[in-house]
A and B are shown apart, each in its own frame.
Chain A
């Protein structure tokens, strides 16, 4: 269960400027009964994208152009709310590989990193630029940890911990990594049980 490695992504952005977009918006709770991961992209932001009768609204997530966007720009404090991993699953199933905001909720960020979605907390000025310039072609470079904005928007560094970066760039996941530590785990467990 590895994913496509991320080194550099250049793509148009899709901008959802509202602050505090929570995981209930990203993936409404009533779709959590799914027992598989695939096909969730259809329900991404369901209540924004569909009318009561199931027809599509004119939300830009339904536009053809959106389907090619790999970079999502969210308003401040993106991904707050529940720990449901359905949120990053739905985002990646839809086609996003990067989410950027001036603040990204902790658990959502952790879940994204584990599922091949790169969450970037970006400088406020860059964030504002991105909100003001939707659909521009932006480059995210994981090698140099830089976001490059076109049209003299500038270049901004972002932070990501070395471990997550390594995993994303290799397309490997944490399960394999943990499995490799079973000796240390055995030793620890023996001592832990004694106490």
Chain B
């Protein structure tokens, strides 16, 4: 029977198949842990006298509560003693159980979903879990990757498996030519705006079509990262040469790399395989996007107007955001800019922002911070001189981590402020109590930083190189 990518990877990991009475037991190839969602799981292990079954399939980092500023004396001031305790708890637990950890001393430390692909630990055909909903990022490599709760973190630590029912599958197909200034972030925001924040609930998504085939790994990660914002547990893209080129030579990639690639290629969805649902969109219809409300589905093209608020929830979202139906988001005054998070903190994102900020100054009224996703990216960006572009423009260049994406480490805005952010969630209060968040691409964030108002990036970007005229006869 013709199978989808999801089916193939799923089938490889079924320990005990599901029945009407019980869910499947699914084996986990890679378990990523960080300080926030693991402490209670380790305490359960301790309470029950259990050990970690496969420390060698577990990888730890610190990212959420970590400070992004270093004091002049070299210390790293935590937002609260509790945050520091949380990080220390992770480091102690990982050490006790023999888990490879990328703490302060590691040149690889970073946001968990940025670091693992960089190490080549994330591989096609794997099952990957982490106590973090944006684990869907790793689906960019053709892995089944999804977030789990702390109780399940405990299950995976102790049993390297979890109980789960197989989700349905949904294909999201986008073909065509993307317009100028349209980035992977805009594509995923457009998808979520179309299917809604509950549209993917109960489904595993597969992104298909030439738009994703032509996309870099950085871009694919941005797209898969936000699958969860459409309600889907995971989103995947079939592994191909782009995937293999990215993985080649990284620390954890298989020794017999060519054999592995051959196997990974076989994971593609078979011709004739059936999805439970298919959504088709045209690349030409997608424009740079911004959010205007308090969830990622409340997104519009930057050159269009805020739609009418039909429900009480929509009305209160607009009130919270202090915006009005029928007006444009572009032109709205901003206070802060955040370029970072596991959605948009990789090299491609930083380069895109730097290209816009090069030789420019950030508006006086704006505080902009740029936070690389990992120590690896920070070093690479500095080698390219990107940090100098940011600093010269007047932005801050901080230490890698989740930072202002959820503000757990104290990187937050002041009440009422508007932040244009490359992260993935614009929930009320996520970036600080009363803070208003507008999600956008690094390009849009950078363009807005210069003007101090929400700005269409196409207005500041170099014009596209014109395509060769089509000399063929009209189709």
- Asked if A24 and B86 sit within 8 Å, CB to CB, the answer is no
- Asked if A33 and B25 sit within 8 Å, CB to CB, the answer is no
Is B313 at the interface (CB under 8 A from chain A)? yes
Select one of A103, A111, A184 contacting B198, CB under 8 A: A103
Mark contacts of B83-95 with chain A using CB atoms, 8 A cut-off: 1 yes-contact digit, 0 otherwise.
Answer: 1011001000000
CA distance A189 to B152 in the complex (A): 19
- Contact (A182, B25) CB under 8 Å given A24-B430, A80-B197, A85-B37: no
- Asked if A24 and B159 sit within 8 Å, CB to CB, the answer is no
CB distance from A55 to the nearest CB of B (A): 15
Is A152 at the interface (CB under 8 A from chain B)? no
CA distance A29 to B151 in the complex (A): 18
- Contact (A35, B85) CB under 8 Å given A19-B313, A77-B198, A103-B198: yes
Is B103 at the interface (CB under 8 A from chain A)? no
Is A28 at the interface (CB under 8 A from chain B)? yes
CB distance from A179 to the nearest CB of B (A): 7
CA distance A70 to B64 in the complex (A): 33
User: Given the complex, which residues of B lie within 8 Å of A179, measured CB to CB?
Assistant: 50, 158-159
Mark contacts of A64-95 with chain B using CB atoms, 8 A cut-off: 1 yes-contact digit, 0 otherwise.
Answer: 00000000000111001111110000000000
- Asked if B43 and A24 sit within 8 Å, CB to CB, the answer is no
- Asked if A35 and B89 sit within 8 Å, CB to CB, the answer is yes
Is A159 at the interface (CB under 8 A from chain B)? no
CA distance A32 to B408 in the complex (A): 8
Binds B, one of A4-12, A134-142, A143-151, A170-178: A170-178
Select one of B13, B16, B22, B40 contacting A37, CB under 8 A: B40
- Asked if B20 and A29 sit within 8 Å, CB to CB, the answer is no
User: Given the complex, which residues of B lie within 8 Å of A25, measured CB to CB?
Assistant: 427-429
Is B80 at the interface (CB under 8 A from chain A)? yes
Interface residues on A, range: 35 or more
- Asked if B159 and A20 sit within 8 Å, CB to CB, the answer is no
CA distance A85 to B313 in the complex (A): 24
CA distance A114 to B295 in the complex (A): 26
Q: Which of A18, A22, A166 has the most CB of B within 10 A?
A: A22
CA distance A5 to B89 in the complex (A): 32
User: Given the complex, which residues of A lie within 8 Å of B294, measured CB to CB?
Assistant: 20
- Asked if A1 and B27 sit within 8 Å, CB to CB, the answer is no
Mark contacts of A52-68 with chain B using CB atoms, 8 A cut-off: 1 yes-contact digit, 0 otherwise.
Answer: 10000000000000000
CA distance A22 to B427 in the complex (A): 8
- Asked if A75 and B313 sit within 8 Å, CB to CB, the answer is yes
- Contact (A178, B25) CB under 8 Å given A18-B316, A106-B202: yes
- Contact (A83, B48) CB under 8 Å given A24-B427, A174-B163: no
CA distance A130 to B256 in the complex (A): 60
User: Given the complex, which residues of B lie within 8 Å of A99, measured CB to CB?
Assistant: none
Is B433 at the interface (CB under 8 A from chain A)? yes
CB distance from B22 to the nearest CB of A (A): 5
Number of A-B contacts (CB under 8 A): 159
- Asked if A36 and B43 sit within 8 Å, CB to CB, the answer is yes
User: Given the complex, which residues of A lie within 8 Å of B131, measured CB to CB?
Assistant: 83
- Asked if B407 and A30 sit within 8 Å, CB to CB, the answer is yes
**A22 closest partner in B (C-beta):** B427
User: Given the complex, which residues of B lie within 8 Å of A1, measured CB to CB?
Assistant: 44, 47-48
Within 157-195 of A, Cβ neighbours of B (below 8 Å) are at 161-163, 166, 173-175, 177-179, 181-182, 184-185, 188-189, 192
- Contact (A81, B151) CB under 8 Å given A178-B158, A185-B159, A189-B160: no
- Asked if A35 and B86 sit within 8 Å, CB to CB, the answer is yes
Binds A, one of B108-116, B142-150, B281-289, B382-390: B142-150
- Asked if B27 and A189 sit within 8 Å, CB to CB, the answer is yes
Select one of A29, A83, A111, A163 contacting B407, CB under 8 A: A29
User: Given the complex, which residues of A lie within 8 Å of B43, measured CB to CB?
Assistant: 35-36
User: Given the complex, which residues of A lie within 8 Å of B429, measured CB to CB?
Assistant: 24-25, 28, 47
Is A126 at the interface (CB under 8 A from chain B)? no
Within 10-45 of A, Cβ neighbours of B (below 8 Å) are at 18-20, 22, 24-25, 28-30, 32-37
Mark contacts of B380-409 with chain A using CB atoms, 8 A cut-off: 1 yes-contact digit, 0 otherwise.
Answer: 000000000000000000000000001110
Within 285-313 of B, Cβ neighbours of A (below 8 Å) are at 294-295, 311-313
- Asked if B20 and A162 sit within 8 Å, CB to CB, the answer is yes
- Contact (A175, B160) CB under 8 Å given A18-B313, A162-B21: no
CA distance A106 to B25 in the complex (A): 18
**A195 closest partner in B (C-beta):** B12
Mark contacts of B427-467 with chain A using CB atoms, 8 A cut-off: 1 yes-contact digit, 0 otherwise.
Answer: 11110010000000000000000000000000000000000
CA distance A110 to B201 in the complex (A): 12
Is A122 at the interface (CB under 8 A from chain B)? no
Within 247-298 of B, Cβ neighbours of A (below 8 Å) are at 294-295
Closest 9 CB pairs between A and B? Answer: A85-B149, A19-B313, A35-B39, A83-B133, A83-B147, A111-B149, A33-B82, A24-B427, A188-B15
Instruction: Mark A residues whose CB is within 8 Å of B.
Output: 1, 18-20, 22, 24-25, 28-30, 32-37, 47, 52, 75-77, 80-85, 103, 105-107, 110-111, 114-115, 161-163, 166, 173-175, 177-179, 181-182, 184-185, 188-189, 192
Return 8 A-B CB contacts under 8 Å, by A number. Answer: A28-B433, A81-B133, A106-B231, A111-B149, A111-B151, A115-B151, A175-B48, A185-B27
